[in-house]
Amino acid sequence: MSARVQAGLTHALLIVWAAVMIFPFLWMLATSLKPAPEILAFPPHLLPRAPTVLNYVRAFQTAPFGRFFLNSLIVAALSTAVIVATSTVAGYVFGKFRFPGDTAIFMLFLATAILPLETYMVPLYLTMRDWHWINSYPGLVAPYLVMSFGVFIMRQYFRTALPDELLDAARIDGASEWRIFLRIAVPAASSAMAAVAIFAAIQAWTGFIWPLIIASSQDMYTMEVGLAFFQQRFTIDYGAITAGATVSAVPIIAVFLFFRRHITEGIAFTGFR
Amino acid sequence: MLLVPAAFFVLFRVIPIVQTLRLSVFSWDLISRVKPFVGLENFSALLADSNFRLALSNTTVFAVVTVVAGVALALVVALPLARRLRFEGAYQFIYFLPFITPTVPEAVVWKWIYDARYGILNYALSFVGIQPVGWLLEPRTTLWAVIIMSVWKTLGYNMVLFIIGLRAIPAEYTEAGLIDGATGWRFFRYLTLPLLMPTVLLVTVISTIGAYNVFTQVYVMAADIQGSPGSVVRVLIYDIFENAFRFYRMGYASAEATVFFAIVLLLTLAQFRVLRGGAE
């Protein structure tokens, strides 16, 4: 077999497989744009013949998807802001200072990432209950305020990319440690912080079991929880269900489109948490 | 400076983890004032609990099939992609997309694909002479439906790890193999695969941990006729969730979470052994 034939075959297989992988997304989008008779048409056709946004209108009218979307945005924004702050501070301390037990504490931070949230969600829920954080934004973000992976990224950055001389020069000029951190370290680390922010935002947006147990009234549902309940109640309205699904998936797909390389490699190396 | 992040780690991670272990030896219904110490009774009750045993066996079947299929398929697509062929970026993007997208909308779409009457899967299968399958109507087929969806979802993640692993194989080895005239399957079997073995083991362990953690797609796709979510295929996390938040058996659910904890820990130890083996 010649090299060209072989390359052609490889591409053919990869394209077929890509079609299989992307089909559910296309089918979701297509169904969400089809009028009801087309959705149940037999035999089914891929592209909507008379595209309509009525499914989206109906979804937003029958369930407060606007509110769900807003809740997801708030949770993602809060979580991202806090994770970036905690990761940067902790990463800076671990990367630039020596103190007794520093490695042990750093390892403990990392070690907690081994266990998924599901192992300790019961006691964490009980704590939230004691604090009256059930069904509130603080409760929704509580497990998403620190990220071991974020601390790790920031520590690596400060250790390898920020020269000590820069900080020492500022110390000689009499700047306080906080001032050095905010004026020198933080601006220098902005691209590493952006990477942490992307992971934090995706993690918060895609979380499911935690908002499912913490949000007890509809006005606190995130997009994921709202969509899960919506499809339970309107099992057969696939137009509205796929419309809701599209709205929930698009922000993450857009983020992925923009930051593709960072995301695949970053996640592959460490996973979330 | 470290105080706030450290406090968060302790409050929202370390303490709940320790509390899970502690709660597992108590019996508590969330409301009563008394919280009697029951020793290992929760664990012995778990052993006799048919729901828990079903959950454990379902999750294990799910994990084994999903991991074997997910690892094998990921390796097949990673092999050509690791050679930096054309459009590699586009392929990687598409294969990774299901992994990064939130699970609820994906599960919802798959539910529609699996629909017994109008679903496109049964329609496609009719061309090869397969009678319509009631995919999500009975436990056996539902488990398979969830497995197929989960392989689709996790494949891209495994693929990226394999690509990194394949590219890390030093060129001297592959050149030596080519000079010896090894090609195709033999080249893969006797050269690539042994060199890639650490990555294969690593991916296997990571995906097994992920598979034992399965919940969201089951919750959405495995709802029964009455609409009770996730009950058709009982998995471990679902059982914990139900005991804790539907039946308010907090101690019992914590005992179950402790079993899950032990499974994750064992798999992680295996992972560290693999990593250490790879470094030697």
**Listed residue (B75, B70, B77, B103) closest to B91, CA to CA:** B77
B152 contact residues in A (CB cutoff 8 A):
20-21, 24
Could you report the per-residue pLDDT of B109-128, keeping only the tens digit for each?
999 999 998 999 999 999 99
Is the model more confident about B180 or about A20? A20
Interface of A with B in 231-270 (CB under 8 A): 231-233, 235, 238, 241-242, 244-246, 248-249, 252-253, 256-257, 260, 263-265, 267-269
Q: How confident is the model at residue A268 (pLDDT cuts 50, 70, 90)?
A: low
Interface of A with B in 118-147 (CB under 8 A): 118-127, 142-143, 145-146
First to last CA, chain A: 47
Could you report the per-residue pLDDT of B126-166, keeping only the tens digit for each?
999 999 999 998 899 999 999 999 999 999 999 999 998 89
Could you report the per-residue pLDDT of A34-90, keeping only the tens digit for each?
999 999 988 899 999 999 999 999 999 999 999 999 999 999 999 999 999 999 999
**Listed residue (A88, A90, A89, A83) closest to A105, CA to CA:** A90
* pLDDT recorded at residue B226: 64
Angle between helices B15-23 and B250-279 (to 10 degrees): 120
Chain B: residue whose CA lies nearest to A207: B102
A177 touches chain B (CB under 8 A): yes
User: How far apart, in whole angstroms, are the C-alpha atoms of residue A77 and residue B42?
Assistant: 40
User: How far apart, in whole angstroms, are the C-alpha atoms of residue B79 and residue B202?
Assistant: 17
For chain B, give the DSSP string.
-THHHHHHHIIIIIHHHHHHHHHTTB---SS-S---B-TTHHHHHHHH-HHHHHHHHHHHHHHHHHHHHHHHHHHHHHHHHTTT-TTHHHHHHHHHHHHHS-HHHHHHHHHHHH-TTT-HHHHHHHTTTPPP--TTTSHHHHHHHHHHHHHHHHHHHHHHHHHHHHHTS-HHHHHHHHHTT--HHHHIIIIIHHHHHHHHHHHHHHHHHHHHT--HHHHHHT--TT--TT-SS--HHHHHHHHHHTS--HHHHHHHHHHHHHHHHHHHHHHHHHHHHHH-
pLDDT at A117 over 70: yes
ipTM beyond 0.85? yes
Instruction: Mark yes or no for CB contact A271/B13 under 8 Å.
Output: no
B88 contact residues in A (CB cutoff 8 A):
none
pTM for the whole structure: 0.93
pLDDT at B278 over 70: no
Minimum distance, in Å, between the CA of residue A65 and any CA atom of chain B: 13
* pLDDT recorded at residue A269: 62
Burial class (CB in 10 A: 0-12, 13-18, 19+), B274: buried
Is the model more confident about A246 or about A110? A246
- Phi/psi class of residue B229: alpha, beta or left (left: φ > 0; alpha: ψ in -120 to 50)? beta
User: How far apart, in whole angstroms, are the C-alpha atoms of residue B240 and residue A220?
Assistant: 23
Q: Which two tokens stand for residue A202?
A: 């995706």
Instruction: Mark yes or no for CB contact B108/A249 under 8 Å.
Output: no
pLDDT at A9 over 70: yes
Chain A: residue whose CA lies nearest to B160: A268
User: How far apart, in whole angstroms, are the C-alpha atoms of residue A46 and residue A31?
Assistant: 8
* pLDDT recorded at residue A83: 97
Mean pLDDT over residues B25-37, rounded?
A: 86
User: How far apart, in whole angstroms, are the C-alpha atoms of residue A267 and residue B161?
Assistant: 10
Angle, CA of B201, B202 and B205, to the nearest 5°: 85
* pLDDT recorded at residue B182: 66
A157 touches chain B (CB under 8 A): no
Find tokens 């308010």 and name the residue.
B248
Mean pLDDT over residues A168-177, rounded?
A: 92
DSSP character for A49?
S
Q: How confident is the model at residue A238 (pLDDT cuts 50, 70, 90)?
A: very high
Instruction: Mark yes or no for CB contact B102/A123 under 8 Å.
Output: no
Residue of B14, B152, B220 with shortest CB distance to A21: B152
Is the model more confident about A262 or about A31? A31
User: How far apart, in whole angstroms, are the C-alpha atoms of residue B13 and residue A127?
Assistant: 12
Cα–Cα distances in angstroms (integers) from residue A219 to residues A69, A228, A234, A241, in the given order: 11, 14, 18, 19
Percentage with pLDDT > 70 across chain A: 97
Minimum distance, in Å, between the CA of residue B8 and any CA atom of chain A: 7
Average pLDDT score, chain B: 90
Instruction: Mark yes or no for CB contact A119/B261 under 8 Å.
Output: yes
Cα–Cα distances in angstroms (integers) from residue B192 to residues B156, B177, B184, in the given order: 20, 10, 11
Residue of B2, B20, B157 with shortest CB distance to A90: B2
Instruction: Mark yes or no for CB contact B101/A209 under 8 Å.
Output: no
Percentage with pLDDT > 90 across chain A: 79
A222 touches chain B (CB under 8 A): no
* pLDDT recorded at residue A51: 95
B80 contact residues in A (CB cutoff 8 A):
10, 14
* pLDDT recorded at residue A13: 93
User: How far apart, in whole angstroms, are the C-alpha atoms of residue B117 and residue B109?
Assistant: 15
Minimum distance, in Å, between the CA of residue B275 and any CA atom of chain A: 13
Is the model more confident about A235 or about A129? A129
For residue A99, the cross-strand partners are none
Q: How confident is the model at residue B186 (pLDDT cuts 50, 70, 90)?
A: confident
